[in-house]
Structure 1
Amino acid sequence: MSDSKLVRGTALLTAATFLSRLIGLIYVIPFTAIVGQLGNTLYGYGFIPYSVMLSMATLGVPMAVSKFVSKYRNIGDHKTGYQLLKYGMLFMFINGLIAFFILYFSAPTISNWIIEDPEALEGYTMEDIIFTIRMVSVALLIVPVMAIVRGYFQGHQSMGPTAVSQVIEQILRIAFILSATIVIYNVMGGELGTAVGFATLGAFVGALGGMGVLLIYWMKRRSMIMKEIKESTVIHSISLKEMYKEVIGYALPISFVGLAIPLFQLIDMFTVSNALTQSGFMSQDEADTFFAIFTQTAHKVVLIPMTLATAFSITLIPTITKSFVTSDQKALQQQITKTFKVILFFTIPAVVGLSILSYSAFGALFKLDDIDMGGMVLRYYAPIALFFSLFSISSAILQGINKQKYAVRALVCGLLVKFSLNYFLLHQFGPLGGVLATYLGFGVAIVITLLAISKYANYQYRLLIKQTRLILLFVGIMGVYVAVVSSYFQRLFPLETWMNTVIVLIAGVSVGGITYILFSVRFGLVRQILGDQYKNRFVKLKKQKEG
């Protein structure tokens, strides 16, 4: 894949991922207004184990199939990738079916692990948790199949099908969630547990829409794909067993790495409520509110800055694989450097600004009733987006150079840190103990992956560190401006009404964005990060306007 195609593919997936995340964030606002943080807690109890099971069922297929198809296409073999698609769809359906049965029938056991004292629950019951888990499990029947089709298109360096299906899937999912919740809870006067349980069925409805989009793309491109297969210059006689063995060899590490955030949240799901209530830091109701903010509302906001990293990790694997297979060391080094630079350039200012504006951001997006706890959590949790991004990208690079086992080892070490410290830190320091355990776990994992890249890709971080210093300098200046403006506007507009939080947030974001962009352009940071492309595009647009 050429650099321009990498940029186009990344831009397309970035836009789609950002739009999906934005929709996912926007829906939480009315959803929270309807069911409150208690409804978010119940939703999280169902969705987190589903996310873990989904990753296990899909086995990291999109990226694994992308890597497999890209590898054989680069040497002129188009038939092998097509055979993988045909036989893989049945395999993935069986995987999804097994995952569905496991999650559906284990729901009572999972609910008992989450809540040790059912009598302390307020507003929902253990049966509601079981019902929510079982409803969301239905999506496992279709999502794994959709995953392999997306991977096949990505292996052809075509990101459009994945991007469009991803957005349509999210739109339909959110539309169903809000419609079901409003009808059941508001119109029909149903119970909270019933409304939230049916809302999780939106994952299945969205998956149907996403799969429909992929089928449309397939019908349009089928003749072209068949022609390409007939014109294969090389055909490998790979048995089905060997094919599965190779793909699973790629997929298992990718699947496990893709489980990073869900597994960290799974640890929180089984420890937060019990640790906070048993230590006396919070009541059951307060612990439920914190869990909802930590894993749902604030977490949705935090995921926005890592959108670019998610898109890069998808497009990066086939690109890195090509450079690695063809022994193009120069291209490999350039791709790694450019990826890290772009991620740091956009993510660092985003997380710093979000942290400073945490109270106004949370108040503007969610209920003012929870602004104290929500603003506090978001302030300390926002920078985790940088950790998520770095781990996602560094793991993708290791997968691209066939060193994915080090990404797996890194995640195992990170999970061990999180698992061993989470309950203790929650018990000792309250809610921020869980946040600290997440930082420590991901921090350990990132250090291991970066060291592995340095060793096995012969990558030197000197230039990257030098340019990162300049980013940090400009972000520091930006942070001072944002803090001063935010403080000044809060005196004029106390965060006591929704409109005031919006005014303070807009003022802070505007000043921060303008400051960072002006300094970056004035002192050449943008040129160092993005090259002269941004300048050429600006000149071209200016000429078109003048013409």
Structure 2
Amino acid sequence: MPKDHLNTMFRGAMILSISSLVAKILSAVYRIPFQNMVGNTGFYVYQQIYPIYGIGMTFALNGFPTFISKLVAEQPDETSKSLVTRRVFHILSVLSLLIFLTLQLGANWIAMRMGDIKLAPIIGAVAWMFVFMPWLATGRGYYQGQFLMGPTAVSQLIEQTVRVGVILMAAYFSLHRGWDDYHMGAWAMSSAAIAAVCSSVIFASFGLRHLLAPAPAATHPLPSYRKLAHRFIVEGGTLCLVAAVVILLQLIDSFSVMRGLVRQGQPIEIAKSIKGVYDRGQPLVQLGLVVATSFSATLLPALTNALAKRQFIEFKRHTRAMVHVSLALSMAATVGLVALMPQINRLLFGSMEGTTALRVYVFSILFAALITTYTSVLQSLDQYTAMIVGIIAGLATKIGLNYLMVVHFGINGASLATVASLGVMFAVMWVGSPEDLQQVLLESGYLVKLLFVSGLMGVVVLLTSHEIQALVGPTMAANRGMTGIITLVGVIVGVVVFVAGAVAMRLFTIREWLVLPYGKRLMKSVLKGKEHHS
């Protein structure tokens, strides 16, 4: 592969990674003020339908564009690229129409299966985003296939910014104009279609030129609609499934947690509020995953480069660094959240309800980060079997356990079922992955060192928060401002203990330290300290 072509590809990947990171942070952070404005029941209403939006976003932003970009890149000339894109648009238009009609006509049935018929109008509101899916997915996929990531990055940022703005406006009007939770939810979910309209503008010239203009004469044989549809189902479906793992678990929750709580004996209105408390875990997990995977993801271009140049030893080194950094950051985030959960819960959401359930739920970060990292490596090796089998096994575990666990243990049971299903997913992927990839977690006693450092950090953070609370007294400790101070001190102490433990235990190689923020500066300080000591 020519050097300038590789540079263009890596620069594009970096642009898309940065925009994705900003969009993910936006997507996680807005839910905290939103929950504070609308309360537990309002948050429940929004989160019940959110997984349907999340699946649509996966189709339009990650799964199908990635597959379409591969199709476009396979074509020999510009005319073929344009014609294949046009055929893909037709196939996606049929798919999106089917989804739209299913959601519109089946809204009452879906809402009843979720245990709340009042959700039907909100399902109808979110359905409109699927009308714009073909336009967005083909536009993004076409430009990515040309290694032009700018349009995708800009459309992604526009979409998230507009959507978050509309959602927070809906919450504001709900608060000040006395809207009920379902009216607010319908407007909040309308944000998906409004944002899709705004981001679609980016692809106006692309659409006029490649989708709506008269089709040029073919210069080479094109894949048939039947063959393309088959590849959409197999390859595109696989990419969508991988990208939507956590969202699919949330969808299962939407159909079983509320009903399980009612079966347990909770009054319907109380059950809605409890489900809203359980849903607090989702932004926490999302933020934890951003921290855990964003830095390791910076190694993806190097991984692709090593594979393209057939530098297999370098590929293994980069893989090892990705897995180690992702696991360490996800472990640190998980243990830190568990230790500080009472304070974080009160600080962000105004109460300590559901602290135990949230403590269990955040263990999802650990397994979800590993699944994300392993799927990135397996995709680069074109090994899909272990991923698909693992995801199906995990979803089956969640479906099989969730309702019964909620009936017997409430939202603690739902959290346990989520963590267990992700654990099954990762275990199946790990067993089905190449031996070299299996050994990455076990070599040099890495796992033992990490467990020791993380455990030490957790104990120190717990003791620190308890000492501060004892010092200021229970009344002062319950103040939201003081809770913020305790949380901040706990985070700083946790970072210092984890970094010091990692250096002392030689947890990371120099390559792995360089991936981490301020890792290069830390390595220089450690080396200077050794020189001075000697």
**Aligned position for 2:289:** 306
- The equivalent position to 1:149 in structure 2, one of 139, 158, 167, is 139
Kindly indicate whether the alpha-carbon contact (under 8 Å) linking 1:180 and 1:199 is maintained by their aligned counterparts in 2. Answer: yes
Paired position in structure 1 for 2:380: 400
Number of the residue aligned with 1:267: 252
Alpha-carbon distance, 1:110 to partner:
0.7
Deviations 1:445-488 (A, max 9, x none): 11111122225x77633665633433333222222221111111
* 1:414 matches 2:363: no
Name the counterpart of 2:323: 340
Cα distance change on mapping 1:532 and 1:247 into 2, 3 Å? same
* Alpha-carbon distance in 2 for matches of 1:458, 1:27: 36
How far apart, in 1, do the equivalents of 2:95 and 2:42 lie? 30
The count of corresponding residues between Structure 1 and Structure 2 is 507
Which residue of the partner structure matches residue 264 of structure 2?
A: 279
Question: What percentage of aligned pairs have identical amino acids?
Answer: 25
Question: 2:136 is matched by which residue type in structure 1?
Answer: M
**2:193 paired with 1:204:** yes
Matches within 5 A, 1:55-454: 55=58, 60-69=63-72, 72=74, 81-115=81-115, 126=117, 128-183=118-173, 185-213=174-202, 237-241=221-225, 242-243=227-228, 245-246=230-231, 248-280=233-265, 282-295=266-279, 297-307=280-290, 328-368=311-351, 371-373=352-354, 375-454=355-434
1:491 maps to 470
- Counterpart of 2:67, as a letter, is A
Matched letter for residue 51 of structure 1: G
Describe the SS at the equivalent of 1:403: coil
Distance 2:443 2:144 in 1: 29
1:25 to 23, 28, 45: 28
The structure-2 alpha-carbon separation of the partners of 1:90 and 1:328, relative to structure 1 and needing over 3 Å to count, comes to: farther
Q: Verify the 8 A CA contact 2:296 2:326 in the aligned structure 1.
A: no
Q: What is the deviation of 1:87?
A: 3.2
The alpha-carbon deviation at position 275 of structure 1 amounts to 1.8
How far, CA to CA, are the matches of 1:464 and 1:213 in structure 2?
Answer: 47
Q: CA deviation at 1:316?
A: 8.1
Matching residue's letter, 1:372: E
- Secondary structure of 1:201's partner? helix
TM-score, scaled relative to structure 1:
0.81
Q: Which amino acid aligns with 2:181?
A: L
Contact kept in structure 2, 1:107 and 1:133, CA below 8 Å? yes
Asked if 1:471 is matched to 2:450, the reply is yes
Distance across 1 between alignment mates of 2:441 and 2:297:
26
Q: Is the contact made by 1:166 and 1:210 (CA closer than 8 Å) also made in structure 2?
A: yes
Q: Distance in 2 between matches of 1:415 and 1:57?
A: 22
Give, in whole Å, the separation in 1 of the partners of 2:17 and 2:490.
24
Q: CA deviation at 1:102?
A: 1.1
Question: How much is the aligned-residue C-alpha RMSD, in angstroms?
Answer: 3.7
- Kindly indicate whether the alpha-carbon contact (under 8 Å) linking 1:173 and 1:205 is maintained by their aligned counterparts in 2: yes
Aligned AA for 1:263? L
Deviation (angstroms), 1:112: 1.0
AA aligned opposite 1:264:
L
Please name the residue that 1:41 is paired with.
Answer: 44
Structure 2 length normalisation: TM-score?
Answer: 0.83
CA distance in 1, matches of 2:305, 2:65: 17
Report the counterpart of residue 215 of structure 2 in structure 1: none
Bigger Cα displacement from structure 2, 417-426 vs 400-409 = 400-409
Structure 1 residue 358, shift from structure 2 partner: 0.8
Report deviation, 1:363: 1.3
Q: In structure 2, list runs of 5 or more residues that go unmatched.
A: 210-218, 526-534
Report the 3-state secondary structure (helix = DSSP H, G, I; strand = E; otherwise coil) of the residue aligned with 2:433. helix
Rounded Cα–Cα distance in structure 2 between residues aligned with 1:138 and 1:287 = 29
Change beyond 3 A, Cα 1:197–1:421: same
Distance 1:180 1:90 in 2: 34
1:334 and 1:82, CA in 2 relative to 1: closer, same or farther beyond 3 A?
Answer: farther
Offset from partner CA, 1:416-443 (integer Å, 9 cap, x none): 1111121222222222111111122111
User: Would you say the 8 A contact 2:386–2:433 is kept in 1?
Assistant: no
Q: Give the conservation status (yes or no) of the 8 Å contact 2:91–2:229.
A: no
Question: Is the alpha carbon distance of 1:298 and 1:532 closer, same or farther for their aligned partners in structure 2, counting shifts above 3 Å?
Answer: closer
Matches of 2:405 and 2:203 in 1, distance apart?
45
User: What are the superposed Cα offsets for residues 299-341 of structure 1, whole Å, 9 maximum, x if unpaired?
Assistant: 1111112125666898888876776677553344234222212
CA distance 1:153–1:358, change in 2 (3 Å): farther
Tell me, yes or no, if the aligned pair for 1:85 and 1:148 is still in contact at 8 Å.
yes
Label 1:250 to 1:59 Cα distance change in 2 as closer, same or farther (>3 A): farther
Q: Which runs of 5+ in 1 are unaligned?
A: 119-125, 223-234, 543-547
Q: Supply the distance in 2 between the matched residues of 1:63 and 1:33 (Cα, whole angstroms).
A: 36
- Contact 1:54-1:140 within 8 A present in 2 as well: no
Maintained 8 Å contact 1:316/1:400: no
8 Å CA contact 1:170, 1:206 repeated in 2: yes
SS in 1 for 2:382: coil
Residue aligning to 1:122: none
1:81 is displaced (CA, Å) by 4.8
Structure 1 pair 85–298 and aligned structure 2 pair: CA distance change class (3 A): same
Residue 447 to residue 249, structure 1, CA distance change in 2 (3 Å): same
